[in-house]
Structure 1
């Protein structure tokens, strides 16, 4: 498509508007992931994680491009380190908080990193 991170940022009237849209997208995407990872009462740890990845797979099969804006904002560190750092922190928290209570958390934590989450996300056509 030829768009850069800077083009995306410049597409908004001002920084305030950009941040409001970004905050809305964060709250929706992170809240959805958090809800799936917390799961229903009595849900098995593995079932909760599978539910999250199933939702990502289903969205990709439907052609939905969920997370493109967040991923672009999070990876724009050199352009806007303040914004990308905040986005990464919220996204990381959306995964870590619900996972801290599962039996395999220490093992997962030792193998995973923020970079892993971005490299493992399916291409979203951005």
Structure 2
């Protein structure tokens, strides 16, 4: 088997409109396709990340609360690459997004920071 690339990342949100606003307006991801699936009472919004990757944003009635923290076994966080970490942090804080203090990766010497989406999903900004 040969894996070519990551095709998509799926995120289930508790408040579809709030999460849609966050991922589209604040993070600047481009909507590709949005569909309402009546049989599931669920929206699915496909979002493009700079023409390369896709995030699928799902809504379901009363989704279960995520039981783990970033250090629990499983997917830890989703990281986005940025050119300038200080500029990105300033942008996020100007949109009332709480961003942790910037740190430096001791292996790569690159700057990074964490923040959360409206459901507390850990997201990272990592400087190129």
TM > 0.5:
no
- Give the number of the structure whose residues are more often strand, by fraction: 2
- Give the number of the structure whose residues are more often helix, by fraction: 1
Give the TM-score of the pair, scaled to structure 2. 0.28
